Amino acid sequence: MPAILNWLLRLLPTNPICMRLVQGGSRRVRHMYIRSGYLAVMILVLLFVLLSEVGGGSLSLRGLATAGSQMFQKVSYLQVGLICLLTPVFMAGAIAQEANPRTWDILLTTPLNNLQIVFGSLFGRLFFVIALLFSSLPLFVMTQYFGGVPGESIFASYAIAGASALLVAAIAVTLSVTRTAGRRAVFVFYVSVVMYLFATYAFDVQLRRPIALGASAVHTTILTPLNPFLVLKVLLDSNNYVPFDFTGEGATWLERMWLSRPIASFCWLCALISVILMLFSTVRLRIIGAKTGSVPWLRRVFGLGARGAAERPARKVGRNPIAWRESVARGKTLTAILARWGFVAVGVGVALTIVGLYHIGTLSSPDLRLAITTIVAAEIVIIGLTALNMSATAVAREREDGTLDLILTTPIQPGPYIKGKHRGLVQFLIPMMLVPVLTMGIIAIYIAFDGFGRQGGVMLKNLPLRSVADTINLPVILPETAIALPLMLGPFIAFCVMVGLQWSIKSKGTIGSVIAAVGLVVAVVGVLSLCGLAGGNSLSHLGAVMTTFSPINLLIAGVYPENTIADALDDSPRVARAFLIVGALMTAVAYAAISYGMHTNMKRTFMMTVRRLAGTT
């Protein structure tokens, strides 16, 4: 066989790393559940949209075409969302396992060159994402039977999802090449994706401008080709989200490409960035794990001292050393200090900036409501993911590195051990939890003082109630949210930490425990959110209480009460607003009781579970 042909074959088709990952992953039950769940969700959403559009009656051909178009839109958005959610799951192994220096040491002793190692790691895991996309193709083809869905739109939606998956996968492989602490990078990877999607979508909303004076349709912005959901909106809602038309204008090729063809720009941009990251990873591969004995100047500024120093000043531990270790020792690294307090500084700064822009009239009342909802919701999601990641790795990490065996030889009992883990992690997260609380507090103070003389005030006049025909006058954001949110946010985060600890004790490894904990909390909160949204507008004051079951629902009820608790506001606005606080208090008690019950059960079964998993990794 010619040498060049053999080299090309080993680059991808017969790459041993790619073949190992595909064969090994295909036998894993977890991957089968993910693939089955992906198809099940897609099918259920497709059937739900179809039934809601048809409504049990007969439709004309035009109605069937409209139903097919609606099905295609919903399933397309869902597919891109699931791909952005599941690609990091499949690529987590590339970050956590291949980032292990021992794994790289073995790979670098094989005859494989740098490019073959990088391509094998990338496409071996990307294969499962591509398989998911192809598995849902019959569902999209079925929508064409109803009409209203062009074939090129289906392929364009697949191109958007595939480009998103390729970019996320390339970033994951680059993290595995450049980081030795891979398990920490997994969570940073997740949070970065969430923050990026939230931020680009929110800024795009602020930059949109009507295509003409008085028109409801808006032009795309410079941020459109940077977000897969915005690009998909161009494809699916081109009548209201319109690209620029430079016909007859002297625009440059870059302006024409970026502003008038955002779908193509997004796909080419993802491909280009992926190629650059692969080239960088190929060059960087041979120097992974290189360390120097010098102490970075930034560590000296924060008083962290040298890594691996033989001695250090004594520290006051307190009564429970486990709680101290989780709340203090965990946060003594430079990365943890910058991440935690940087999050606090940026969050408070953004809140003050938004209020300032609203005060001088740069932001309108609808803009303020949208900005607060987007930012605070993103902060709550990030805090929840942080709590789940830290707690789900708290015990599993100690089992993997052998620390748990040493701790169990000490006099500490399961009860204080679990309680210390829980209390320490919650204490560590308190500064982060203060960010959304302070944000809503700043807004509440501003509204309580009537905007400090802001022109136009802070009241919204004649808001229509969705479920009734009346109107109501309300503040731009209900100040009661500043009281209700901190009441239930702390117990909710404590519940997330307890769920993560439970799976961390049961799971053999950190990746499995994180995925299981996140999946359980998302399912529970999703069900509670749907119940709260369904009952908010139909059960009067009880509906107002139900909207406090999840922090996101509570936030939306405080920002858009006329759309979420309209029935309660129609009965009595003051009572409805007070019931938000009552509901938050009741929800906090419920979450605290559940956490206490989980702690009792974990304390009783701790030793049996630990002994059963002893010696496993």
| DSSP string across 371-429 | HHHHHHHHHHHHHHHHHHHHHHTHHHHHHHHTHHHHHTTSS--HHHHHHHHHHHHHHHH
Q: What is the pLDDT of residue 186?
A: 64
Residue 81, strand partner residues:
none
Q: Which of 156-170, 274-288, 432-446 has the lowest mean pLDDT?
A: 274-288
Residue 461, C-beta contacts closer than 8 angstroms, at least 6 positions apart:
473
Q: What is the pLDDT of residue 36?
A: 82
Q: Give SS3 for 3.
A: helix
| Secondary element (H or E) of residue 34 | helix 29-54
State the Cα–Cα distance between residues 179 and 291, nearest whole angstrom: 12
Per-residue pLDDT band for 87 (boundaries 50, 70, 90) equals: confident
pTM above 0.75, yes or no: no
State the Cα–Cα distance between residues 569 and 381, nearest whole angstrom: 28
Q: What is the pLDDT of residue 63?
A: 67
Per-residue pLDDT of 454-471, as tens digits, reads: 888 888 887 776 555 577
pLDDT exceeds 70 at position 520: yes
Per-residue pLDDT band for 254 (boundaries 50, 70, 90) equals: confident
pLDDT exceeds 50 at position 293: no
Per-residue pLDDT band for 535 (boundaries 50, 70, 90) equals: confident
| Secondary element (H or E) of residue 64 | helix 61-96
Per-residue pLDDT band for 351 (boundaries 50, 70, 90) equals: very high
| Secondary element (H or E) of residue 464 | strand 459-464
Per-residue pLDDT of 370-409, as tens digits, reads: 999 999 999 999 999 889 888 888 887 777 767 776 777 7
* b/e 46-72 (16+ beta carbons within 10 angstroms → b): beebbeebeeeeeeeeebbebbbbbbb
- In 180-302, alpha helices (H): 182-207, 228-236, 253-260, 262-284, 297-301
Q: What is the pLDDT of residue 444?
A: 92
C-alpha dihedral, 518 to 521 to 527 to 530, nearest 10°: -80
Q: What is the pLDDT of residue 206?
A: 86
Per-residue pLDDT of 312-335, as tens digits, reads: 555 565 677 777 777 776 666 677
Q: What is the mean pLDDT of residues 244-266?
A: 84
Q: What is the mean pLDDT of residues 261-284?
A: 89
* Mean pLDDT comparison of 229-238, 344-353, 472-481, highest-scoring range: 344-353
Q: Is the Cβ–Cβ distance between 128 and 205 less than 8 Å? A: no
State the Cα–Cα distance between residues 65 and 465, nearest whole angstrom: 32
Q: What is the mean pLDDT of the chain?
A: 80
Query: Which among 362, 363, 426 has a CA at the least distance from the CA of 394?
Result: 426
- Taken in order 262, 263, 266, 267, the sign of the CA dihedral is negative
More confident residue, 95 or 401: 401
Q: What is the pLDDT of residue 569?
A: 80
Q: What is the mean pLDDT of residues 99-111?
A: 64
pLDDT exceeds 70 at position 204: yes
Q: What is the mean pLDDT of residues 496-500?
A: 92
Q: What is the pLDDT of residue 92?
A: 61
Q: What are phi and psi of 474, to 5 degrees?
A: -140, 155
